[in-house]
Structure 1
Amino acid sequence: MENLKPEKVLEFIGLVNNLKHSSRRGWEQCDVKNHEQIAGHMYGMAMMTFLLGNNSTLDRLKCLQLALVHDLAESIVGDITPRDNIPEEEKHKMEDEAMKTITSCLGEEIGPYMYQLYKEYEAKETPEAQFVKDLDRFDMLFSATFYEQRDNTPGKLQEYFTSTEGKFQNTYINNLVEILKTKRKSELSNGQI
């Protein structure tokens, strides 16, 4: 850490702190009031990495790091959603450049490691990256359910459930999703939301 330039560390911290004040735009686009910020979403995912017990074959520390890095580029490019109509290839290019900028602040040891974590998450080829992607989707569905309940807007955020249908790979997370969907469906039919 002593080899890191203090000015660059402050730049990095400034970028990371942008996420505490940056909106999750999907909720904004759906007119959800008082919704989470990007850092709140990343925090929720990071906490869920503790679902991995000591007997898990997945590397819990790696999952935690992937959760904390996965949306870091949004500190520069913002939260780009499908409604923005930016081609997926262009979005990935913008985020990759942002990650290069962010990680360049962290020297020759930490920066490349953080960039490699980002690339691992994007590729979704390792079991840890696949698990964290499931956490990403699950956190979104959990939040959608919360907002529907809180705002008494039954079914308003169905598009999030539809967009993730059949995409969960981890058995445990998939079970959580099914329980969440069953609970939501019951509450919808009983008029509780």
Structure 2
Amino acid sequence: MSPAPFASSPSPTQGTPAAPPVPDDCKQGTLGYFHTLERLKTNKRTGWVNQGIHQPESVMDHMGRMALMCLAFPETQTLDIGKCVLLSMVHDIAEADVGDITPEHASGVSKATKLALEEKAMDRMCGLLGHPSIAALRLKSLWDEYEARETAESKFVKDLDLYELCQQAVEYENTQGCQTLQEFFETTIPRILHPVVKGWARELMAERRTLWAQRGWISYKEVLPAPDVPAPTTNGVAPPSKASNGIPVRVYGSHEEGEAAAAATQA
């Protein structure tokens, strides 16, 4: 199997590990695709590595918990949860090749460059599955849907991506006594849009507040989701999303708008 990447790779991007060469066992056919997936189990999440977290989670750890979080969604009519599970397990798959590139302000890697690197990785993996085979088209379709962020499912999974990071941050504060993770909360919690995920985030932040008080830690800074905005309706009926396999859904907003609002709040 492939050795764990990044162990000694120099980083030209201010702490984001440089992408290692693709090992020979990852270069041919379906077996090469399976070997490539092993790199998701060994590639560590860069933000935690940069914080000196002991035994930080892998990319696969992050995606796997997101997929299981989807199963806790309390509604039956607004989202295709099976699709959400699949999107969760695919959304960071390109990081098997490129590594976990942190946001531009931390890594120096622009969004356009990051996307180009990830698209190249997806092309390579789809090629292993015999593009345009059914398997390759399935994989690429899911990844493209998440990146486009047009369907209710992809928007929800993006919110889970933000929320899961904060869940992990609270757990590292709790288990490793880390008090340097405030930025992780400030750059994610205000961007969450889905009301269900906002509810989970409010509960998580209440738990965090309690944990800080119990430890007697000072300088606690509150971070909360933005207030809920009702979904637009026509005669009391919410419009369906663009592509949701026939299941009626509500689309709660644009993450680009959410990011801009969060930036304005922090300015």
Partner of 1:150: 175
- Tell me if 1:84 matches 2:86: no
Specify which structure has the bigger relative contact order, considering alpha-carbon pairs within 8 angstroms and separated by 6 or more residues: 1
AA aligned to 2:47 is G
2:129 alignment partner in structure 1: 106
Contact 2:40-2:96 at 8 Å conserved across structures? yes
- The aligned counterpart of 1:44 is 65
User: How far off its partner does 1:8 sit?
Assistant: 0.7
Q: Which amino acid aligns with 1:187?
A: L
Q: 1:106 to 1:53 in 2, by over 3 A?
A: farther
Matched residue SS, 1:51: coil
Matched, 1:189 2:213: yes
Normalized per residue, which structure has more helix? 1
Q: TM-score, length-normalised on structure 2? A: 0.67
In the alignment, which of 118, 123, 137 is matched to residue 148 of structure 2? Answer: 123
1:135-146 equivalent positions in 2, closer than 5 A: 135-146=160-171
Specify whether residues 38 and 187 from structure 1 end up closer, same or farther in structure 2 by C-alpha distance, changes over 3 A only.
Answer: same
Change over 3 Å in CA distance of 1:94–1:174 after alignment to 2: same
Which of 23, 28, 36 in structure 1 is aligned with 2:44?
A: 23
Are positions 1:74 and 2:98 aligned together? no
Percent pairwise identity: 32
Q: Which runs of 5+ in 2 are unaligned?
A: 1-27, 218-267
Tell me the CA shift for residue 182 of structure 1: 1.6
Q: Secondary structure at the match of 1:47?
A: helix
Superposed CA offset, 1:59-115 (max 9, x none): 111111100100000000011012221011000110011011112222311101211
Please name the residue that 2:30 is paired with.
Answer: 9
| DSSP-derived class of the 1:120 partner | helix
Give per-residue Cα distances to partners, 1:32-65, cap 9 Å, x unaligned: 1111111111110111111235623211111111
Number of residues paired by the alignment? 186
SS of aligned partner of 1:36:
coil
Question: Which ranges of 4 or more aligned residues in structure 1 deviate by more than 6 Å?
Answer: none
Deviates further, 17-26 or 99-108: 99-108
Q: CA deviation at 1:184?
A: 0.7
Asked if 1:169 is matched to 2:190, the reply is: no
CA distance change for structure 1 residues 159 and 28 in 2, over 3 Å: closer, same or farther? same
In 2, distance between residues paired with 1:56 and 1:183? 30
Which of residues 76, 94, 97 in structure 1 aligns to 2:120?
Answer: 97
Match of 1:178 in 2: 202
Q: Secondary structure at the match of 2:191?
A: coil
Q: Which amino acid aligns with 1:113?
A: R
